[in-house]
Amino acid sequence: MPKSLTPRLAALRDEIHGYAKEFGLDFFDTVFEMVSYDEMNMVAAYGGFPTRYPHWRWGMEYEQLSKGYEYGLSKIYELVINNDPCYAYLMESNPEVDQKLVMAHVYGHCDFFKNNFSFRHTNRRMIDEMANHATRVRRWVDKIGVEKVEDFIDRTLSLENLIDQHSPHIRRNPDPRRAEDELKSNERVEGFKVGREYMRGYINPSEFLDSQRKKVEDEKQRAKKFPERPQRDVLLFLLEEAPLEPWESDILAILREEAYYFAPQGQTKIMNEGWASYWHSTIMTRRALRDDEIIDYADHHSGTMGTRPGAINPYKLGIELWRDIEERWNKGRFGKEWDECDDLRARRNWDKKLGAGREKIFEVRKHYNDITFIDTFLTPEFAMEQKLFVYGFNDKRNSWEILDREFRKVKSKLLQGLTNFGQPIIEVVDGNHENRGELLLAHKHDGQDLKGDYARETLRNLQSLWRRPVNIVTRYDNKGVMLRFDGTNQTEKKVEL
């Protein structure tokens, strides 16, 4: 069970808290708890929460984390939950310098959770909500049976990315009441024209007008698409329209709610980890470190910032980009004059001494996510300094190699991997395809083909919820293809796009 902090760690927490406030961080109250490495792995397996619904995957995650720690392959330094108050876990076996580093890192995360716009709509009582979800699922397990519930959760988890991650911030569909009023105003049935007003009742009797209105309504219903517009939140469409049993609807709603809670963390991974790393580095090097802790701190910090081949380290990319923004706004390296300067020596020595860097990074922390962060602030100079490049597999040489260092291609590749978490964008197009009750989905092709085996398994799981055949239109080799699963057979055919 988690334990409260020792008097020494409580004093260190108060010290780090004071430094964080001194630098201008603004965060929820933060509760630190001590756990053993085994308890840390348990909490990490649950996605950072002390309680989750029962499912076999938590055990799989725990086993993987435990073996990674025991074999010296990985180590979890901290876990922090987006909640009010924030909860964070410290591993009791960590040395004091690591505990200070983790506390400073946690306060950076908590500041980001509280102030970044992506988290504005998240549930700030999610620890309690997760416990409620666990209780509801356990009740269904007792009533329906563990195998049936786990099988349904397995299928639903394969679909949890089929949400509209931007829906908390925008309205894609018009106000239903206003749309209905507009439709009614456009559907006035006046019958035949009459030259004399007193003849209207004879030429257009009420029975005739009623029949005409019914005819217009029937035509409107036949012409009306279902849904009216492509719907990106596939899980919501299933909740509202699929013939689910009550227990299935409840569990699907739970998993959808949790998917939306975790979505902002995926949307801001680089910013969030970079922001927390920036502040633990600033607090430790300028305030909290003792002379005898410098070597240990540098060793552990560099381990976190290390980049392995073939992967982006969000801690490293994030912290370097935050530092670059701060330096640019301190020296005035932005704006029309800077962009139009083509003298390399002048650009290298450019320093307007504005000192606006700290103010700028707090502004960016509030209004950006990873995509807009990279799109706005990644510069050719930064890409060159950080040695960023695009790599790929060379079939002729049978090896991975650098394909391009050109800035636009590097930036495009980064943004492509961040858009929709690097996963395909799928929308519901028709819930009554060809008037047969079939579900039709569309893949918004962005240059990346669907993986055939993944697509077929996804169709299989969707069909198990829809209970009718499910289709998806995509593109392979610039040709339209419709994949279909009817509950028994997987088929595909060419279609016009």
How far is it, in rounded angstroms, from Cα 341 to Cα 344? 8
Assess whether pLDDT exceeds 70 at residue 430: yes
Residue 394: pLDDT band (50, 70, 90) is confident
Domain ranges of the chain: 7-127+276-301, 308-419, 424-494
Q: pLDDT at position 395, please?
A: 79
Terminus-to-terminus CA distance in the chain, angstroms?
57
Q: Lowest mean pLDDT: which of 113-127, 220-234, 400-414? A: 220-234
pTM exceeds 0.85? yes
Q: Are 369 and 352 in contact (CB under 8 A)?
A: no
Q: Is the Cα dihedral 63, 66, 69, 72 positive or negative? A: negative
* Residue with more model confidence, 177 or 457: 457
| Segment 395-398 long-range contacts (CB within 8 Å, at least 24 positions apart) | none
Two structure tokens written together for 219: 């035509």
**Rounded mean pLDDT, 389-405:** 81
How far is it, in rounded angstroms, from Cα 127 to Cα 83? 7
Q: Which residues are within 8 A (CB) of 207 and not within 5 positions of it... i.e. 6 or more apart? A: none
How far is it, in rounded angstroms, from Cα 408 to Cα 33? 45
Q: Which residues are within 8 A (CB) of 387 and not within 5 positions of it... i.e. 6 or more apart? A: none
Two structure tokens written together for 364: 């960016």
* Residue with more model confidence, 490 or 401: 490
**Rounded mean pLDDT, 431-438:** 92
How far is it, in rounded angstroms, from Cα 189 to Cα 210? 9
Tokens 């009614």 found at:
184
Task: Evaluate the omega torsion of the peptide bond into residue 85 and state whether it is cis, within 30 degrees of 0.
Answer: yes
- Other Cβ atoms less than 10 A from the Cβ of 43: the count is 23
Q: Are 432 and 420 in contact (CB under 8 A)?
A: no
Q: pLDDT at position 18, please?
A: 97
- CA 224-230-234 angle, to 5 degrees, is 115
3-state secondary structure of 479: strand
pLDDT, tens digit (0-9, with 9 covering 90-100), for 1-10: 678 899 999 9
Q: pLDDT at position 228, please?
A: 85
Q: In the chain, pLDDT over 90 holds for what percent of residues?
A: 73
Task: Evaluate the omega torsion of the peptide bond into residue 246 and state whether it is cis, within 30 degrees of 0.
Answer: no
pLDDT, tens digit (0-9, with 9 covering 90-100), for 52-65: 999 999 999 999 99
Residue 390: pLDDT band (50, 70, 90) is confident
Q: Are 122 and 112 in contact (CB under 8 A)?
A: no
How far is it, in rounded angstroms, from Cα 323 to Cα 104? 17
State phi, psi for 323 to the nearest 5 degrees. Answer: -65, -35
Assess whether pLDDT exceeds 90 at residue 99: yes
* Residue with more model confidence, 3 or 410: 410
Assess whether pLDDT exceeds 70 at residue 486: yes
pLDDT, tens digit (0-9, with 9 covering 90-100), for 284-320: 999 999 999 999 999 999 988 988 766 789 999 999 9
**Rounded mean pLDDT, 17-25:** 97
How far is it, in rounded angstroms, from Cα 169 to Cα 148? 36
pLDDT, tens digit (0-9, with 9 covering 90-100), for 150-208: 999 999 999 999 999 998 888 776 655 555 554 454 455 566 565 555 556 656 677 76
Residue 214: pLDDT band (50, 70, 90) is confident
**Rounded mean pLDDT, 375-395:** 89
* Residue with more model confidence, 219 or 271: 271
How far is it, in rounded angstroms, from Cα 16 to Cα 81? 19
